[in-house]
Structure 1
Amino acid sequence: MFKRFFTALLAVFITAFSALQVRAQAVPPAIDSIMKKFDAVGLSVAVVKKGKLVYTGSFGWKNREQQLPLKDQDIFRIASISKSFSATSIMQLADAGKVSLDDDFSKLIGFKVRNPKFPETVITLRMVLSHTSSLNDSQGYFTLDVIDPAKNPNAAKCYNDYEPGKGYQYCNLNFNMVGTVIEKVSGERFDQYVKRHILDPLKLYGGYCVDSLDKNRFVTLYEWDGKTKTFTPAPGAYNPRSGEIRNYVMGYSTPVFSPTGGMKISAGDLARYMIMHMNYGKTGAGRILSKKSAVAMQTPVSDGEGGYGLALRSANDLVPGKKMTGHTGSAYGLYSSMFFDPKEKFGFVTITNGCNPVYNEDMPQLTRDLIAALYREFIAGR
């Protein structure tokens, strides 16, 4: 009798647990509609409300070919949101009195960084962090050789025609150089500095070094071909560059880790990092950034991209009547976003590993629609 009762009870429990699993994995209707509209392969989102992480969800495929579903613990290369980790690192060094935003960048990096059309104008660390340095990516940005006049006879082409500090152009080279300065000033390899001083204190899993991470957690990224309307995997997103790292030169090989775009992290952990910036550098365990430095990162230096500060920008058109701060990322078919309201303490992270990127001004419409839907569902009227 007892055995039959126990067996029946166990069956009920298993059925109920399975139902809970199905419900937990079900795609909310609003998100499902957006994913279908833009052919999203997979999607991870996170929502912060009143300074707390209140929701994470992962939908679609981590790997389409292997039919692996996307899970919350999976990690993406998040592209240009990575720049804020580099800026946070340099601002920690500023808090420690080791650098100043007004320092001559040439002295920090160890070779001449001067726009030849304005040789007397000092290019400062602040200019590099805010994309007002007058630099461009025309010569590439995967090695410092492109801008070092001793290595590249065409280094002058890395500079625009306007005076440093008097114009804005988004430039990946800026932040690969910032990563180099972090090494020179701290004495720590760039990826290890970020891990020890940002990720570990916040108890986040991620990093810039592929070989230091669990490859089973990497989300395959897919590039969209608009002509054929097909997706192609982009394995280059997780190129470990192990050989280059074995021959690493501190203070020069730094672009190997891509301080400008190479952070790998989950949506939930990126949201936890976002909360630190939402609280102006403060965490539950103390501070990892001074309020002064956190405010400086969020304060526009130019009007580029709605108001660009130090690796964080303003966005006034994502949620009606709300001024949000954050960044976007796009590379290898991935589209990511991290935006928050530091006054009302809400924010969103959205990451897709591939979609049809129909753009609306400066970001994919998918990103805009997702933020609007998450705001309606979790924040508005609550």
Structure 2
Amino acid sequence: MKKIISCCLTVLMSNVLLFGQDLKSDVKKVADKYKAVGVAYVVVKDGEIIEKNAIGYSSIENNTPLDVDKNIFRIASISKSFTSTAIMQLVEKKRLSLDDDFSDLVGFSVRNPKFPNTKITLRMVLSHTSSINDVNGYFDLDVINPAKNSNWQKSYNNYEPGTNYQYCNLNFNMAGSVLERLTNIRFDNYIRQQILNPLALYGGYCIDSLDNKRFASLYSYNKDKEEFVHEASAYNPRSEDVRNHILGVTTPIFSPTGGMKISAVDLAKYMTMHMYYGKSGKIKILGKNYSKMMQKKLSEKEGYGLALLETSQLIAGEHLVGHTGSAYGLYSSMFFSPKKKYGIVVITNGCIPTYKDGNVALTAEIVNLLHDRLIK
């Protein structure tokens, strides 16, 4: 009997290994179609990671294989959800309200000059309905401060705040500044203390606080030359700026809007916390009601909530919540089903950026492949 059981287990394990290899091979076929430098992917089901793997390279120059556990990426705009989570923790503690006047929070006048009597609220800033834009840039808060920039008016659109949507990076760099002003703690340290450390995740917004040997190099695709260009500036430490940082003023040096560095596996663990409405096992990061506020769409057309969005277009027939990111050639995707309790993370550090139905084709196709094989 023992021999029979042992034999059955051996066959089962062999089948599992073969399945994993077949899946990896199919992921590679999609990656090769878009000439991806590397792809890391993780699938979570019922709170557990059921698949994690990587193909390709973390560095073309060094011919270094990409490691799904070890390598960390600048995940771009998925970073916004970390900023919003931290802000919502303060909302839960009654330190501020989503309906507060953002001018009072950030320390200078934030008013659309065409609608001076309309209050721009924290909720509007976190949902991209503030009527603020990135025309003047977003790496310095002075661009929108009337006392610092004579062209501050250009940072506003022509519609009334709260009536329309436009994605805007400046919104979240300002939100990061508010976080510092309220807590008197440096932005990157606060995110580590309140979100990363409790969840036992390795990552952060400050380059010098991380092991640079773990960074996956990022590559943008030069269409004219048909080659990938190493974007070394993606991990510019800005060490001198950090040393001279002024709380609540120079916060954009950490890029609350896009500067989180984290592995695909740890991003999946963070995603799982949101899938379970603010909890990871016994660890509570955010109250259920406040987590649901983040996920509930405020803009019907775009499906955007408070740094998380709803979509039914990524996987046909599936209602998902999450976010994407793109910067320096990287494309990231983090989406989950709060109802069915599964989620998928896909990150590439460089590919030919082809779009389909508003999604990056490479990440969308791999998400669908993983869903069909492991979830469906």
TM-score by length of 1: 0.92
Displacement of 1:261: 0.1
CA distance in 2, matches of 1:248, 1:362: 37
Displacement of 1:303: 2.3
In structure 2, give the amino acid aligned to 1:79.
A
Q: Which deviates more, 325-334 or 52-61? A: 52-61
Task: Name the structure 2 match of 1:64.
Answer: 60
State percent identity of aligned pairs.
54
Q: Is the 8 A contact 1:48 1:55 kept in 2?
A: yes
Task: Name the structure 2 match of 1:13.
Answer: none
Task: Name the structure 2 match of 1:278.
Answer: 275
CA distance in 2, matches of 1:189, 1:285: 27
The structure-2 alpha-carbon separation of the partners of 1:308 and 1:23, relative to structure 1 and needing over 3 Å to count, comes to: closer
CA distance in 2, matches of 1:109, 1:262: 20
In structure 2, give the amino acid aligned to 1:252.
V
Query: Which of structure 1's runs of 4+ aligned residues deviate more than 4 A?
Result: 20-27
Task: Name the structure 1 match of 2:178.
Answer: 181
The alignment status of 1:54 with 2:50, answered yes or no, reads yes
Task: Name the structure 2 match of 1:118.
Answer: 115
The structure-2 alpha-carbon separation of the partners of 1:162 and 1:288, relative to structure 1 and needing over 3 Å to count, comes to: same
SS at structure 1 position matched to 2:307: coil
The alignment status of 1:199 with 2:199, answered yes or no, reads no
Pick aligned residue for 2:79 from 76, 79, 82 = 82
The structure-2 alpha-carbon separation of the partners of 1:295 and 1:200, relative to structure 1 and needing over 3 Å to count, comes to: same
Pick aligned residue for 1:374 from 349, 355, 370 = 370
CA distance in 2, matches of 1:39, 1:62: 14
SS at structure 2 position matched to 1:201: coil
The structure-2 alpha-carbon separation of the partners of 1:49 and 1:24, relative to structure 1 and needing over 3 Å to count, comes to: closer
Pick aligned residue for 2:307 from 304, 311, 320 = 311
Q: Is the 8 A contact 1:27 1:59 kept in 2?
A: no
RMSD: 1.6
Q: Is the 8 A contact 1:93 1:186 kept in 2?
A: no
What is the 5 A alignment of 1:241-320?
A: 241-305=238-302, 307-320=303-316
The alignment status of 1:141 with 2:138, answered yes or no, reads yes
Task: Name the structure 2 match of 1:354.
Answer: 350
1:69-116 Cα deviation digits (max 9, x unpaired): 011211000000000000000000111110100000000000000000
In structure 1, give the amino acid aligned to 2:111.
R
Displacement of 1:165: 0.1
Task: Name the structure 2 match of 1:335.
Answer: 331
Task: Name the structure 1 match of 2:168.
Answer: 171
Unpaired stretches in structure 2, ≥5 consecutive residues: 1-15
CA distance in 2, matches of 1:345, 1:22: 26
CA distance in 1, matches of 2:283, 2:239: 35
CA distance in 1, matches of 2:156, 2:360: 29
SS at structure 2 position matched to 1:114: coil
Q: Is the 8 A contact 1:267 1:349 kept in 2?
A: yes
Task: Name the structure 1 match of 2:7.
Answer: none
CA distance in 2, matches of 1:27, 1:347: 17
Q: Is the 8 A contact 1:85 1:194 kept in 2?
A: yes
CA distance in 2, matches of 1:376, 1:26: 14
Pick aligned residue for 1:211 from 208, 215, 221 = 208
The structure-2 alpha-carbon separation of the partners of 1:243 and 1:226, relative to structure 1 and needing over 3 Å to count, comes to: same
The structure-2 alpha-carbon separation of the partners of 1:238 and 1:22, relative to structure 1 and needing over 3 Å to count, comes to: farther
In structure 2, give the amino acid aligned to 1:42.
G
Displacement of 1:286: 2.9
Q: Which deviates more, 239-248 or 21-30? A: 21-30
Q: Is the 8 A contact 1:25 1:59 kept in 2?
A: no
Unpaired stretches in structure 1, ≥5 consecutive residues: 1-19
Task: Name the structure 2 match of 1:28.
Answer: 24
In structure 1, give the amino acid aligned to 2:99.
D
SS at structure 1 position matched to 2:61: coil
Displacement of 1:22: 12
Displacement of 1:58: 1.1
Count of matched residue pairs: 360
1:334-354 Cα deviation digits (max 9, x unpaired): 000000000000010000000
Pick aligned residue for 2:125 from 124, 128, 132 = 128
Displacement of 1:52: 1.4
CA distance in 1, matches of 2:242, 2:33: 41
SS at structure 2 position matched to 1:151: coil
CA distance in 1, matches of 2:237, 2:99: 35
In structure 2, give the amino acid aligned to 1:377.
R
1:103-137 Cα deviation digits (max 9, x unpaired): 00000000000000000000000000000000000
SS at structure 1 position matched to 2:237: coil
TM-score by length of 2: 0.93
CA distance in 2, matches of 1:339, 1:321: 14
